[in-house]
Amino acid sequence: MSMALCLQPKPSLYFKSSLFAGSTGMAQFRGVVKQGRVQDVFHGVVIGKCKRYHNSSANALRQTQPFSLILPGAESTNLARESTGIELGNTLPSSHEILGSGMIILKNYISLKDQVDIVNICQKLGMGPGGFYQASYRSGVKQRLHRMCYGRNWDPETKYSERYRSDGSLPPPIPDELISFVQTAIQDAQAHLNSANEIPLMCPNICLVNFYTTTDRLGLHQDRSESSDSLKRGLPVVSLSIGDSAEFLYGHTYTEDENELSKVVLQSGDVMIFGGKSRLIYHGVKTIFPNSAPPPLLQRTKLRPGRLNLTFREY
Ligand SMILES: O=C(O)CCC(=O)C(=O)O
């Protein structure tokens, strides 16, 4: 599939290595067991039954302040002026690690400048309609992560079936420059594989953006809400990590014994791709390592402690 088939306008900011050019123990996972699987990690806060408003103007009905990625009090800082002189050139070389058929990490792939740009994009969209929120289950239990979606709404209960969120908001579209970035990353990954077919190219039309505080986790799960055709073709999930590092666990079969899972640390700037034979891996985030984000990223963005993760998929 070529990029042209995505019918996306040509990205204005496209450059490859500068973004737009193109301890542990599963038993320690706190989560609920649903259909025999740990689904997610919760505060355990019961918030009552959500009203559903089928009108985007109902966004005004938000009862809480939108969640900001930026440290409280830093929003009004003139970051451009303050950050003058902060060196954003990458010092670490890029590399890659093949984790299995269809699964690869492009280490330090996202330049610091592009990480800054992505934080700024996510902050801008996150504060607008359809921005960061904590999704809840029908039981009323609220998810702990702050999440928002681009392109298509995903919810832990309704998956992709509801166009609107319970606050009535629609997800913003995926920014074009991110679509291009993801496709370039897939093509760069393919170049490292025995066969490009191990990870097919896709046109992302969904992005889930998660923000983990340093105590947040994500229980073991599969990403299988996408269409059966997408799953059958093994169209990949492309995951971008920014901010604090995370311990990522994965395996091909479900287990509650963490020792049976593989582990890898995802650092700021890493891109993980899993498709093809690895498309349905079980995976989760066990630990966020505090104070592990690159200092220039924090100085430039005032990103709060924690980790920003974007996963792109084609429905
Ligand atoms: O944060 C991550 O690295 C994984 C996110 C994830 O598994 C998901 O959004 O389904």
Would you state the pLDDT for residue 153?
96
Please give the Cα distance from 162 to 128 (Å, whole number): 19
Q: How confident is the model at residue 85 (pLDDT cuts 50, 70, 90)?
A: low
- For ligand 1, the distance from its centroid to the CA atom of residue 218, given in whole angstroms, is 7
Mean pLDDT of the chain: 81
- Under a CB-based contact definition with an 8 Å cutoff, are residues 160 and 315 in contact? yes
Name which residue sits closest to atom 7 of ligand 1, judged by CA.
284
pLDDT above 60 (res 17): no
Give the DSSP per-residue string, the chain: --GGGG-PPPPSS--SSSSS-----GGG----EETTEE---EEEEE--PPP---SGGGGGG--SPPP-SBPTT-TTS-HHHHTTT------SPPEEEEEETTEEEEET-S-HHHHHHHHHHHHHHHTSTT-SB--B-TTSEEESSEEEEESS--BTTTBT--SS-TTSPPPPPPPHHHHHHHHHHHHHHHTTSS-GGGS------EEEEEEE-TT--EEEE----S-HHHHHHTPPEEEEEEESEEEEEEESS--S-GGGSEEEEE-TT-EEEE-GGGTT-EEEEEEEETT-S-HHHHHHH-BPSSEEEEEEE--
φ, ψ at 44 (rounded to 5°): 80, 20
Would you state the pLDDT for residue 176?
98
Report whether residue 283 contacts ligand 1, using a CB cutoff of 6 Å. Answer: yes
Query: Which among 285, 287, 310, 313 is the best mutation to test ligand 1's pocket, defined by most ligand atoms within 8 Å of the CB?
Result: 285
- For ligand 1, the distance from its centroid to the CA atom of residue 237, given in whole angstroms, is 9
Report whether residue 311 contacts ligand 1, using a CB cutoff of 6 Å. Answer: yes
- For ligand 1, the distance from its centroid to the CA atom of residue 134, given in whole angstroms, is 15
Q: How confident is the model at residue 90 (pLDDT cuts 50, 70, 90)?
A: low
Distances (CA, A) of 88 to 92, 103, 110, 227: 11, 29, 12, 39
> Residues 228-275: pLDDT tens digits?
999 999 999 999 999 999 999 999 999 999 999 999 999 999 999 999
Domains and CATH numbers, the chain: 39-80+93-313 (2.60.120.590)
**pTM, two decimal places:** 0.82
pLDDT above 70 (res 194): yes
* Chain centroid to CA 125: 14
Q: Is 221 annotated in some ligand binding site?
A: yes
- For ligand 1, the distance from its centroid to the CA atom of residue 312, given in whole angstroms, is 10
Task: Looking at the CA of residue 147, tell me the nearest atom of ligand 1.
Answer: 9
Would you state the pLDDT for residue 227?
98
- For ligand 1, the distance from its centroid to the CA atom of residue 306, given in whole angstroms, is 14
> Residues 19-71: pLDDT tens digits?
443 322 222 233 333 333 333 332 222 222 222 223 333 444 444 678 999 99
> Residues 123-138: pLDDT tens digits?
999 999 999 999 888 8
Share of the chain above pLDDT 90, in %: 66
Averaged over 110-134, what is the pLDDT? 97
Averaged over 153-179, what is the pLDDT? 93
pLDDT above 80 (res 212): yes
Name which residue sits closest to atom 10 of ligand 1, judged by CA.
223
